[in-house]
């Protein structure tokens, strides 16, 4: 009986942790052409396991879509329209302390 109680308490503790809170303003230096960097600002809002917000940088501001949070992991898409050419950037990240480590994919390229 004791083992069952301990297991149940462990399960309750795991369930109560839930999704991480990604809410707030996040700043990053993103690699761009010619070994330069650009400042990108993400303003994010967490709602349980959903993520909404905007991302802004040298190309302007865009709403994120399909934002999903699973524990300390997050993923979302940023649709772009550059001179009539439409494409999506897909972000996958993990929260570690006060830093989100992202992998950004569009087309066949990863950053």
SS (H, E, C) 10-77: HHHHHHHHCCCCCCEEEEEEEECHHHCEEEEEEEEEEECCEEEEEEEECCEEEECEEEEEECCEEEEE
- Residue 49 φ then ψ, to 5°: -105, 15
Report d(CA 22, CA 48) in Å as an integer. Answer: 10
**pLDDT single digits (tens) 46-74:** 999 999 999 998 888 999 999 999 999 99
**Mean pLDDT, the chain, integer:** 81
pTM of the model: 0.75
pLDDT at residue 7, as a whole number: 36
């Amino acid at each position: 009986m004791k083992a069952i109680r301990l297991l149940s308490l462990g399960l309750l503790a795991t369930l109560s942790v839930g999704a991480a809170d990604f809410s707030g303003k996040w700043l990053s230096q993103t690699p761009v052409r010619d070994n330069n960097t650009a400042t990108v600002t993400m303003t994010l809002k967490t709602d349980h396991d959903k993520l909404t917000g905007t991302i802004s940088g040298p190309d302007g501001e865009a709403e994120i879509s399909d934002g999903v949070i699973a524990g300390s992991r997050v993923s979302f898409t940023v649709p772009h329209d550059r001179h009539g050419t439409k494409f999506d950037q897909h972000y996958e990240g993990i929260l570690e302390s006060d830093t989100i480590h992202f992998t950004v994919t569009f087309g066949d390229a990863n950053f």
